[in-house]
């Protein structure tokens, strides 16, 4: 089930960018922990101490980028005679051009690469 959540490294970067939405999971010193469904607790960055980092769903992180930074994201699944089945993501930039990310064997790989690229783009905008 961990494939639905961002990686530990992505969670740290998202926290540094200001992500603070409630999450069902957290990292404690790289250890992934999913909240029990009946627990009623959600994890927010900063709310439970500096060693606890919220672990958003990949879908939640992508929505956060869309809402906070007004970035549109496109995903495609294609089949090519020579390449076989592949997945790709595109990020629509401010000038309405599309930054297409590489080709990936799985949806999850493409989704994770998209989150990495979004983090990089936002960090570069801030510097």
Residue 32 belongs to a domain with what CATH number?
A: 3.30.160.20
Residues 63-99 pLDDT 10s: 999 899 888 887 776 666 666 666 777 788 777 677 7
Q: Give whole-number Cα distances, 124 to 7, 10, 18, 25, 119, in Å.
A: 20, 16, 15, 28, 9
Sorting pLDDT into bands at 50, 70 and 90, what band is 38? very low
Contact predicate 114/87, CB 8 Å: no
Residues 3-14 pLDDT 10s: 889 999 999 999
Q: In whole angstroms, what is the distance from residue 122 CA to residue 118 CA?
A: 6
Q: Among positive and negative, which fits the CA dihedral 108, 69, 7, 90?
A: positive
Residue 48 lies in domain: 2-126
Q: In whole angstroms, what is the distance from residue 79 CA to residue 30 CA?
A: 36
When divided into structural domains, the chain yields a total of 1
């Amino acid at each position: 089930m961990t494939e639905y959540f961002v990686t530990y490294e992505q969670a740290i970067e998202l926290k540094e960018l200001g992500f603070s939405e409630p999450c069902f999971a957290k990292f404690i010193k790289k250890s992934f922990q999913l909240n029990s469904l009946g627990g009623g607790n959600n994890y927010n960055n900063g709310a439970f101490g500096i060693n606890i980092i919220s672990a958003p769903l990949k879908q939640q992180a992508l929505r956060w980028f869309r809402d906070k930074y007004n970035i549109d994201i496109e995903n495609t699944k294609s089949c090519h005679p020579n390449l076989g089945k592949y997945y790709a993501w595109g990020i629509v930039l401010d000038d309405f051009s599309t930054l297409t990310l590489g080709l990936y064997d799985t949806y999850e790989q493409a989704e994770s690469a998209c989150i990495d690229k979004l983090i990089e783009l936002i960090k570069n905008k801030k510097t």
